[in-house]
Amino acid sequence: MRLFYGWIIVGVGIVVTCVGLGAMLSLSVFLAPMSAAMGWSRTGISMAALLNFLSMGVGSFAWGALSDRFGTRAVVLCGGVLLGLGLVTASQAATLGQFQVLFGVIVGFAAGSLYTPLTATTTRWFTQHRSLAVALVSAGLSLGSSTAAPLARWLITSYDWRFAMLVIGDLAWLVIIPAALLVREPPALPTAAVVAASAEGPGLTVAQALRTPQFAAIALTFFACCAAHSGPIFHMVTHAIDHGVPAMAAATVLSAAGVASLGGKILCGLVADRVGAKRVLVGGLALQAVAVSLYLFTRDTASFYALALMFGFAYGGVMPLYAILVREYFGERIMGTVFGAVAFVSTLGMALGPWAGGWLYDAFGSYFWLYIGSFGIGLGAVAIAFSFRPPRQLAAALPSPSLAH
């Protein structure tokens, strides 16, 4: 029996996002060691994470548009080369400003070439089991955070932060570049299939899609979702250490959250294929908000592990659903560009949390206000998600049949 090549694309997506995004997200493990070794403030190092996500947002939109024009293979290949370069050079940074540019801007922009284009390509390969396929690609993010954190912690403990970052950069080159060569675009559909596929989306141009209320609702929900969980994720290790959890155990708390998010992605993907992405999204966002609030009461190692499992399941489960919603509303023809635009808005939220958490810690000496603010934003995400209308209402609202094709 011949293997459907779409599953190869899924496998590539898992590996590439695991290594690439895991490398970027490992900065949370470097936070305390770098601050101690270099004398840089947590706010200053967290600024690199803010720049990561801002640059990733710009990159997601730019790389997504390029993948629609030139193909995903070229985009992932170029992004993998740039990602490794950013990590290797950041490991030799002499000043905080140099580190913020090299790790924050270059690594972040390169990371935008991985998840968004590969997710868009995956949706084009699948007509059945699409939610599951996208969830599996997104699972690479979970694997990345669960594997890169202990690896970085072990390298830092055995050597120092510079050597650890250098090794992670080399690993990005060794894995992403060969994997990118396996990426293919889906074969052209027969005429009848093209007609059926175009019926799934309203046939909007990119400019029209970006002006719809549906785009605004998805993008704002994604923004609030990411703003709610990015700070608690980034400062999870340091917060645990502040409460007496040993450094290696604290790193594995982040890994536990990553493993739980992997399970959340797969389970929520399966359920979304049956009951629809909106219902699963609303439930997952509500669970995420509750989990964030519980960090106010978490003090010992066991409770940090338990909450990491709950929190990881929630934020992991909702992440693949935004791509499914974009595909349902806008179709596959402009999927790369529109999902890139949605991802750009979401990364503004991802950028806000780490920086705000670092600033609030330096200002007040604890993460209390980080969790209060994240909880409130999380509730806002739930409220916006309730406003989603069925995709068919978008098509019905088109001013002229000539827009369809």
Whole-angstrom Cα distance, residue 55 to residue 42?
A: 20
> Which single residue is written with the structure tokens 């690199």?
48
Whole-angstrom Cα distance, residue 361 to residue 11?
A: 39
In a domain, 397, yes or no: no
In a domain, 198, yes or no: no
Quote the pLDDT of residue 316.
87
Sorted by sequence, the CB contacts under 8 Å of residue 96 that are 6+ apart come out as 38, 40, 44, 45
Quote the pLDDT of residue 396.
45
User: What CATH number is attached to the domain comprising 124?
Assistant: 1.20.1250.20
Give yes or no for a contact between 321 and 196, defined as CB atoms under 8 angstroms apart: no
Quote the pLDDT of residue 28.
80
Listing DSSP states for 285-345 in one string gives HHHHHHHHHHGGG--SHHHHHHHHHHHHHHHHHHTTHHHHHHHHHH-STTHHHHHHHHHHH
Structural domains counted in the chain: 1
Question: In the predicted model, what is the mean pLDDT of residues 368-382?
Answer: 94
Give yes or no for a contact between 16 and 139, defined as CB atoms under 8 angstroms apart: no
Q: Which residue has the higher pLDDT, 11 or 350?
A: 11
pLDDT tier at 58 (50, 70, 90 boundaries)? Answer: confident
Give yes or no for a contact between 235 and 28, defined as CB atoms under 8 angstroms apart: yes
Confidence check: pLDDT of 189 > 60: no
Tokens of 24: 């970027």
pLDDT tier at 229 (50, 70, 90 boundaries)? Answer: very high
Q: Which residue has the higher pLDDT, 202 or 66?
A: 66
Residue 4: count other Cβ atoms within 10 Å of its Cβ: 11
In a domain, 353, yes or no: yes
Give yes or no for a contact between 331 and 59, defined as CB atoms under 8 angstroms apart: no
In a domain, 46, yes or no: yes
Confidence check: pLDDT of 85 > 90: yes
Percent of the chain residues past pLDDT 70, beyond the cut: 92
Whole-angstrom Cα distance, residue 381 to residue 30?
A: 30
Whole-angstrom Cα distance, residue 325 to residue 166?
A: 38
pLDDT tier at 197 (50, 70, 90 boundaries)? Answer: very low
Tokens of 145: 């955070």
Whole-angstrom Cα distance, residue 231 to residue 353?
A: 4
Vertex 146, ends 129 and 107: CA angle to 5°? 90
Quote the pLDDT of residue 394.
52
In a domain, 194, yes or no: no
Range in 8-22, 144-158, 185-199, 249-263 the model is least confident about: 185-199
Question: In the predicted model, what is the mean pLDDT of residues 211-215?
Answer: 87
Range in 210-224, 302-316, 386-400 the model is least confident about: 386-400
pLDDT tier at 96 (50, 70, 90 boundaries)? Answer: very high
pLDDT tier at 86 (50, 70, 90 boundaries)? Answer: very high
Most confident option among 72-76, 120-124, 127-131, 150-154: 72-76
Over residues 289-317, the pLDDT tens digits come to: 999 999 999 888 999 999 999 999 999 88
Quote the pLDDT of residue 2.
76
In a domain, 396, yes or no: no
Among the listed residues 385, 335, 55, 390, the one whose alpha carbon sits nearest the alpha carbon of residue 224: 385
Confidence check: pLDDT of 3 > 70: yes
Amino acid at 121: T
In a domain, 193, yes or no: no
Angle between helices 213-234 and 277-294 (to 10 degrees): 30
Range in 191-205, 210-224, 332-346 the model is least confident about: 191-205
Q: What share of the chain is helix, strand, coil (3-state, %, to 5)?
A: 85, 0, 15
Question: In the predicted model, what is the mean pLDDT of residues 209-228?
Answer: 90
Per the structure, the complete domain to which residue 373 belongs is given by: 5-186+203-391
Confidence check: pLDDT of 27 > 90: no
What does the mean pLDDT of the chain come to?
Answer: 84
In a domain, 384, yes or no: yes
